[in-house]
Amino acid sequence: MTIKTLLLAGGTLLGSAAAASASGFQVNLGGQQNIGMGGVGVGLSLDQAAMFYNPGALAMVRENGVQVGANFALARGTYMSSNGGPERHLQPLVVTPFNLYASFGPKEGKYKFGVAVYTPYGSQLRYADQWEGRYALTEINLQAVYVQPTFSYAFSPRFSVGAGLTMLAYGSANIQRDLPLPTGPAHLTLDGKADFRVGYNVGIFLKPTDKLSVGISYRSQIEARLKGGDVSLAGLPAAGSPSAGAINSQFTATSFDSTLPLPAMAAIGIGVMPTDKLTIGLDASLVMWNTYRTLDFAFSGNNGNAGPETPANSGLIGGKNISSSKRYYQDALAFRLGGQYKATDQLILRLGTAYDFAAVKDGYVTPETPDADRVIGTAGVTYQPTPHLGIDASFQFERFVKRTQTQDDLISNGTTDRVAGTYRTDIFIPGIGVRYSF
């Protein structure tokens, strides 16, 4: 058992090819109206989803309201080994990020209180049996739920600010991979829950004229900390067999700790309303991934190495039992453009597009996050049967640029704890939501 097979487990904590609409493993599915417009929202005050995109705009949403929405993300991914062989496919799984918003305050007043519940990280991915990277990853299931109490205040009809506490109320990760043992394949599962953590989301909203609005927002980084996660193995030699002692002594860990940065993001947005029926939005955002340098795991015992400490397994024994895998992510820009047209009092139509730049550098791509520059197209519709009730539907399609890394890339970067080859991913994301204002 080599150090790289242990490090492969460290590469699968909170990422997935099913991460939708943003670089790395971030998800940008805050509200159905915004999704239909390419994900814009920082410079607009459409509805209660402003708490996600720009808390400063909430005070400009005059009506109180409650809304709930869900998306159904299906990733179609393929992998082709650099050594040739058959094309491997992700098994079809549906991921369901959701959101819930409620806001309250005097209709003609200057302030609004609100609470938001949403899933900024969450995905599930499973590769085909016997694929070439099965010793890096076979399956991952991530869940993360944020709760954000929010307050927004309008100093004037043209200027408002807002702030919310972003609380990681629930987070979990289940990571699985195969192990290449001399006695046959075994299977490793890491399963952990994240500690409660708190950050913040702040924003400013300015409306110089009735036809122009501008917003700025900043969401802080949160450190997702998994402590005392379970380590379980299947397929180890049975006790008493000739090879049991030598092999099983390499796998004595029963728990692990790990920390992953959920990065900060800054964004600016512009809204233009040329007519009463047409609204256009443009957003630019920067996700500050450069804080994600390595992914480290601390195990309670051996987890793939035993025996005297050497340069090859340094840090894995002697009471440390640490694995470290390079990430070296880079900050990632994204640009979004969209619009909506009010065809009738009951029907609103939307279109949008976006381009997201990859956070993962060449030679650092991992199976659980085959990140790449991505082109996004969206569409949406609202049917409003009454002035107080709205039904929103959206559809988003993402195409990742084909991403190839060679074995020479991995050797040059010291990242041979992952596999060489070519990744290609498409994601299909329909969504539905219901709004009620009062």
CA distances to 16, 42, 379 from 73, rounded to whole Å, are 12, 23, 15
Q: Is the dihedral of CA 105, 108, 111, 114 positive or negative?
A: positive
* Cβ burial 129-150 (10 Å sphere, 16+ → b, else e): eebbbbbbbbbbbbbbbbbbeb
Instruction: Give the tokens for residue 266.
Output: 């800054």
- Which domains are seen in the chain, by residue range? 3-437 (2.40.160.60)
- DSSP run (H or E) holding 424: strand 421-437
The pLDDT profile of the chain, 438 residues, written as one tens digit per residue, is 333 333 333 333 343 434 555 777 788 899 999 999 999 999 999 999 999 999 999 999 989 999 999 999 988 888 888 888 888 888 877 888 899 999 999 987 899 999 999 998 766 778 888 888 888 888 888 778 999 999 999 999 999 999 999 999 998 888 888 888 888 888 989 999 999 999 999 999 999 999 999 999 999 999 989 999 999 989 888 887 888 888 888 888 899 999 888 899 999 999 999 999 999 999 999 999 999 998 888 888 887 754 433 333 333 333 348 788 888 999 999 999 999 999 999 999 999 999 999 999 988 988 878 889 999 999 999 999 999 999 999 999 999 999 999 999 989 998 888 889 999 999 999 999 999 999
Contact between residue 382 and residue 352 where contact means Cβ atoms under 8 Å apart: no
pLDDT at 25: 76
β-partners of residue 142 are 123, 173
Residue 322 burial by Cβ neighbours in a 10 Å radius (0-12, 13-18, 19+): middle
Q: What is the DSSP pairing of strand 73-81 with strand 421-437?
A: antiparallel
pLDDT at 83: 84
pLDDT at 331: 95
pLDDT at 142: 78
pLDDT at 368: 76
Distance CA 330, CA 327 (A): 9
Distance CA 303, CA 259 (A): 18
